[in-house]
Structure 1
Amino acid sequence: MALKATIYKADLNIANMDNHQYGDYQLTMALHPSETIERLMVRILAYARFADDALEFTKDLFETDEPALWQKDLTGQLIKWIEVGSPDEDKVKKASARCKQVAVVTYGNSVDEWYKRNSKLKTLSNVQVWKLSTATTEALPQLCARTMQLQLNVMDGEWTIIGDDAQVLVEWEQLQ
């Protein structure tokens, strides 16, 4: 019998003073049996970075042709494609040809090596690559619960995400 996904819900309140973006988002995510809590929480941060009511979590690990998040226009055309982790360069290149905006949110110890190895990414003008620090991703699981209340504050470039029992300073580096 195959293992089933575990459903997580997050009420995410964003107060981004830098971009004057404020909003409340009710997120429902499926945790794939092979996925870690760390990756689940990185998906929430990826959502927060590109927050929009039309942005959706996809089947991601259940469907290998899909990113972690995407946004479609009213006609169903893809406009945002957001990957989490260290995806295959060809998948990102293909997404770049299909979408106006493509982003990769990377994390882990091998990000720098992955980015050097995938040099074709640097030629794609509509692709952003963001790297989360190891300290951030190691601290994120302490915010996780099956039902979460999360507050994200952004001020002067500093991101802080606050949960019921802890808060985490989010350190981003834009590689591209």
Structure 2
Amino acid sequence: MALNSTIHTVTVHLADVDRTVYEELELRVARHPSETAAYLVTRLLAYCLEYEEGIAFSDGGVSATDQPPVLVRDLTGRLTTWIDVGAPDAERIHRAGKLADRVAIYTHRDPAKVLAALPAKRIHRAETIPVYSLDREFVDAVAAAVDRRTEWTVSVTDRHLFLEIDGAPFSVEIVEHRLDG
């Protein structure tokens, strides 16, 4: 018998000063049985940090090989932004660079290892692809605080993320790396 996804309902009060984005979001996120809590947290934070009109979680979830975990489509339905999470392989990122105007990667893994696996491979427009790393201890602490129904207050200023989950505060610097070094 196959396990079902767990639905997480997250209310987000988003204040991204860096991008002048201020929104109240009601997110329903399906967590696949094979998805780690750290991956779920990174996926949710990527959504918040990339929030814009047309953003969505992919239909296929984390098991979709032809879609990113988070994406942005324009009003015509065309894929404009591919937002990947974790440690995607070079072939996937290469394909993403051809399909979308913009590609970004958010990782909770060791960024040096993620980056080391990619430069030797051919990646379309590699010089334009940012890799944002979130400290693993931060992600693990946030993952421990995530419940099926939670309320997040997310503030971003000067690439520092301040997060409060049901009254518990967390903070981390968002570090940007580039595939081309």
Whether the TM-score (by the shorter chain) exceeds 0.5 is yes
List gaps (5 residues or longer) in structure 1.
Answer: none
- SS of 1:175's partner is strand
What is the RMSD computed on CA atoms of the aligned residues?
1.7
Offset at 1:148? 1.2
- Residues 123 and 20 from structure 1, CA distance in 2 versus in 1: closer, same or farther, beyond 3 angstroms? closer
Offset at 1:122? 8.9
Letter in 1 for 2:112: D
Give the alignment of 1:83-102 within 5 angstroms.
Answer: 83-102=84-103
Q: Is the contact made by 1:54 and 1:72 (CA closer than 8 Å) also made in structure 2?
A: yes
Query: Quick one: distance in 2 between partners of 1:140 and 1:168?
Result: 7
Offset at 1:124? 1.8
Query: Quick one: distance in 2 between partners of 1:122 and 1:128?
Result: 13
Offset at 1:126? 3.4
- SS of 2:94's partner is helix
Q: Which residue of the partner structure matches residue 166 of structure 1?
A: 168
Letter in 2 for 1:42: T
Offset at 1:121? 4.7
List gaps (5 residues or longer) in structure 2.
Answer: none
Question: Is 1:75 paired with 2:71?
Answer: no
Query: Quick one: distance in 1 between partners of 2:140 and 2:99?
Result: 33
- Residues 24 and 93 from structure 1, CA distance in 2 versus in 1: closer, same or farther, beyond 3 angstroms? same
Query: Quick one: distance in 1 between partners of 2:65 and 2:99?
Result: 16
Q: Is the contact made by 2:106 and 2:133 (CA closer than 8 Å) also made in structure 1?
A: yes
Offset at 1:136? 1.4
Offset at 1:168? 1.1
Give the alignment of 1:42-121 within 5 angstroms.
Answer: 42-58=42-58, 59-109=60-110, 111-119=111-119, 120-121=122-123
Q: Is the contact made by 1:25 and 1:53 (CA closer than 8 Å) also made in structure 2?
A: no
Q: Is the contact made by 2:38 and 2:108 (CA closer than 8 Å) also made in structure 1?
A: no
Select 1:133's aligned residue among 127, 135, 139: 135
Q: Which residue of the partner structure matches residue 4 of structure 2?
A: 4
Query: Quick one: distance in 2 between partners of 1:31 and 1:3?
Result: 11
Offset at 1:143? 2.9
- SS of 1:3's partner is coil
Offset at 1:123? 5.1
Letter in 1 for 2:45: L
Query: Quick one: distance in 2 between partners of 1:162 and 1:121?
Result: 37
Select 1:145's aligned residue among 134, 144, 147: 147
Q: Is the contact made by 1:104 and 1:129 (CA closer than 8 Å) also made in structure 2?
A: yes
Q: Is the contact made by 1:143 and 1:167 (CA closer than 8 Å) also made in structure 2?
A: no
